[in-house]
Amino acid sequence: MNAPIVQSTQGVTLAGGGPFSARDLKLALARAPVAVAADSGADRLLRFGVAPQAVIGDMDSISDRARAEIPQERQHFVAEQATTDFDKALRLIAAPLVLALGFAGARLDHGLAAMSTLIARAERRCILIGPRDLAFAAPLRLELALREGDPVSLFPMAPVTGRSEGLEWPIAGISFAPDGMIGTSNRALARRVVLELDGRGMLVILPRRRLDAAIKALLAAP
């Protein structure tokens, strides 16, 4: 299955089965108003009074109650077991932006799998929102409007090199790799931070309070 299940000109809030709050959901829906669930994320949306426009996944964890409440035509079974429900959903959503909730906080293996999916599906502009931070796959060029002192962590999921402006510790000349040099706990020295990367594979991790800055930067990236 390659054709998108969800096609939207608006942003999509994608809910997973991990924990997130009503406040998190309100934050995301205000910016990405189309609600979609990955498998048991449907139960969490319904708990907060939100009916998903689509449910995508292998349907091994959605409750019988949610199945009964959501119209059958909105339930999309994807049988293969080689990928996670986050990956299945993300690759089958065509939208300018996806804000993902409930994928980063419950289990380490699920969180790592979600980070891997961000890189594998980097053509989908997706921001993973966690309890304190947010993460997204860096495009080849990114310009962020931040505040001085904001944490800016760069975590390579593959070998990556590049250049930066506005960071306390510039990245030029550094060969990043997941088993070598990483870039956690860098900081913004200026209100404008620019990253230019020579390839894909870098995660950008920012505080949640910079969600709007991350959205603006991703949507403007080439």
Q: What is the pLDDT of residues 8-66, one digit of tens each?
A: 999 999 999 999 999 999 999 999 999 999 999 999 999 999 999 999 999 999 999 99
pTM surpassing 0.85? yes
Q: Give the chain's domains with CATH numbers.
A: 6-131 (3.40.50.10240), 141-207+216-220 (2.60.120.320)
Q: What is the pLDDT of residues 180-201, one digit of tens each?
A: 999 999 999 999 999 999 999 9
Name the residue type at position 207: P
Q: Which of 142, 185, 57, 42 is CA-nearest to residue 101?
A: 42
Name the residue type at position 69: E
- Specify the length of the chain in residues: 222
If one counts every other C-beta atom within 10 angstroms of the C-beta of residue 77, the result is 12
Both tokens of 144, joined, read 């962020």
Euclidean distance between CA atoms 199 and 105, whole angstroms? 28
Q: What is the pLDDT of residues 89-112, one digit of tens each?
A: 999 999 999 999 999 866 788 889
Phi, psi at residue 197, to the nearest 5°?
Answer: -115, 150
Euclidean distance between CA atoms 169 and 189, whole angstroms? 9
Name the residue type at position 70: I
Both tokens of 68, joined, read 């009964």
- pLDDT, average across residues 206-220: 98
- 111 close to 88: Cβ distance less than 8 angstroms: no
